[in-house]
A = this chain, B = another copy of it.
Amino acid sequence: MTKQAKSIEWLDNKLYLLDQTRLPVEVEVEEQTSVEQVWDSIKQLKVRGAPAIGVAGAYGLVVAMRSHADADRATFLAELKTQAAYLDSSRPTAVNLSWALKRAVSAVESSSGTDGRTLFTALTETAEAIHREDIQLCKQIGENGASLITEGMGVLTHCNAGRLATSEYGTATAPMYLAHERGVNFSVYSDESRPLLQGARLTAWELQQAGIDVYTITDNMAAFVMQQGLIDMVIVGTDRVAANGDVANKIGTMGVAILARHFGIPFYVASPFSTIDLATPTGDDIVIEERGEDEVTHFGLRRTAPEGIKVRNPAFDVTPNEFVTAIITDRGIIEPPYDVNLKKTFG
């Protein structure tokens, strides 16, 4: 594999997925030779992150239809829909997956091609377009945010809103990758992000692979590195931005935002347009998923808390807009007042 392993690679009409379940201990890139294998890779979270799943699904459809290129149009379309429904069943809740599959199917349907080969070409081009657009979206976030990162800075991030969750660049990490490509030297402090450790397992790994100077810290060390003057800015991703600029993200984000405010450190949120939800008025309207107890009482398979102990395990928290310095989007950097400015750009 290349040092810069990508979550998804499409080379010589072959699909390669990085098995993220084995990171950071093993780096395994698997060629996907059958649609069943792609279904399994999505199901088993070998590929994860909503944008990445969408792209993998579209290519999965290409893999599925390869052997049908000799079919006539009717047969090809019928089989295409069957395979799309099959891939869609791998993770019913991942909206990007259904979206990408629907788009691929309708692109082929609207193609005038009368033979399987022409339709297969249309399918392949659509998958490549979905892939390209995802890369462009993240790259644009990076272009817009990269100038915020200047020589010698310390940047703190939480969880993984990185390249591994997308096809390339990521969201929170996009400004870092772009600044690094431009030769800016800076250090990243990556919270390990209990309970599931996406920061330690994924963010630290992908930044290290890219040659960016990165430190892993436990979540409760964030205040310490800020107090030591090591942090000049915070950049995090988001799962949903409300119309008033309240930001839902991985549990622990709000604490980092409050600490950043105390130490006078700017707190940035990186978000693609698709994550800004003007239909949600405020953070109070966002339901916080409470996950299983084992994530907190165990570490991997090892029990670390007593039998029968009660736990809380909110997967996310909501950072009030007052703590958000600006939101870095693919359509530019949005500053307060968010209720006005988000509507202006995304309404």
| Chain A residues engaging chain B, CB cutoff 8 angstroms | 23-25, 189, 191-195, 197, 200-201, 204-205, 208, 213-225, 227, 251-252, 254-255, 258-259, 262, 296-297, 299-300, 302-314, 317
Q: Is the CB of A251 within 8 A of B208?
A: no
Q: Is the CB of A311 within 8 A of B197?
A: no
Q: Is the CB of A216 within 8 A of B305?
A: yes
A71–B171 Cα distance when bound, in Å, is: 77
A221 — which chain B residues lie within 8 A by C-beta?
Answer: 251-252, 312-314
A24–B222 Cα distance when bound, in Å, is: 28
Q: Is the CB of B252 within 8 A of A317?
A: no
Q: Is the CB of B251 within 8 A of A255?
A: no
Chain B min CB distance to A243 (Å)? 20
* Cross-interface CB contact of A262 among B200, B262, B300, cutoff 8 Å: B262
Copies in the assembly, this chain:
2
Interface residues of A: mostly helix, strand, loop or mixed?
A: mixed
A126–B3 Cα distance when bound, in Å, is: 65
A216 — which chain B residues lie within 8 A by C-beta?
Answer: 296-297, 305, 309-311
Q: Is the CB of A24 within 8 A of B305?
A: yes
- Among residues of B, the one whose C-beta sits closest to the C-beta of A217 is B312
Q: Is the CB of A304 within 8 A of B225?
A: no
A297 — which chain B residues lie within 8 A by C-beta?
Answer: 200, 216
A215–B303 Cα distance when bound, in Å, is: 15
**CB pairs A–B below 8 angstroms (26 shown):** A24-B306, A25-B303, A189-B312, A191-B220, A192-B194, A192-B304, A194-B220, A200-B297, A200-B305, A201-B304, A205-B306, A208-B306, A208-B309, A215-B312, A216-B311, A218-B219, A218-B252, A219-B219, A223-B317, A224-B312, A224-B317, A258-B262, A299-B299, A299-B304, A300-B302, A300-B304
Given the known inter-chain contacts A200-B305, A299-B300, A305-B192, please indicate yes or no for A220 contacting B259, CB distance below 8 A: no
A194–B204 Cα distance when bound, in Å, is: 18
Q: Is the CB of B302 within 8 A of A302?
A: yes
A197–B25 Cα distance when bound, in Å, is: 23
Chain B min CB distance to A38 (Å)? 27
Given the known inter-chain contacts A304-B200, A317-B223, please indicate yes or no for A259 contacting B251, CB distance below 8 A: no
- Among residues of B, the one whose C-beta sits closest to the C-beta of A27 is B306
A259 — which chain B residues lie within 8 A by C-beta?
Answer: 255, 258-259
Q: Is the CB of B222 within 8 A of A310?
A: no
A197–B297 Cα distance when bound, in Å, is: 11
A195–B227 Cα distance when bound, in Å, is: 19
Q: Is the CB of A251 within 8 A of B309?
A: no
Q: Is the CB of A302 within 8 A of B299?
A: yes
Q: Is the CB of A309 within 8 A of B204?
A: yes
Q: Is the CB of B24 within 8 A of A307?
A: yes
Chain B min CB distance to A251 (Å)? 6
A213 — which chain B residues lie within 8 A by C-beta?
Answer: 310
Chain B min CB distance to A112 (Å)? 50
A302–B262 Cα distance when bound, in Å, is: 35
A191 — which chain B residues lie within 8 A by C-beta?
Answer: 220
Q: Is the CB of B220 within 8 A of A255?
A: yes
- Among residues of B, the one whose C-beta sits closest to the C-beta of A316 is B224
Given A192-B304, A201-B305, A224-B317, 11 more A-B residue pairs with CB atoms under 8 Å apart are A24-B304, A24-B305, A25-B307, A192-B296, A194-B218, A215-B310, A220-B255, A221-B313, A223-B255, A223-B258, A299-B299
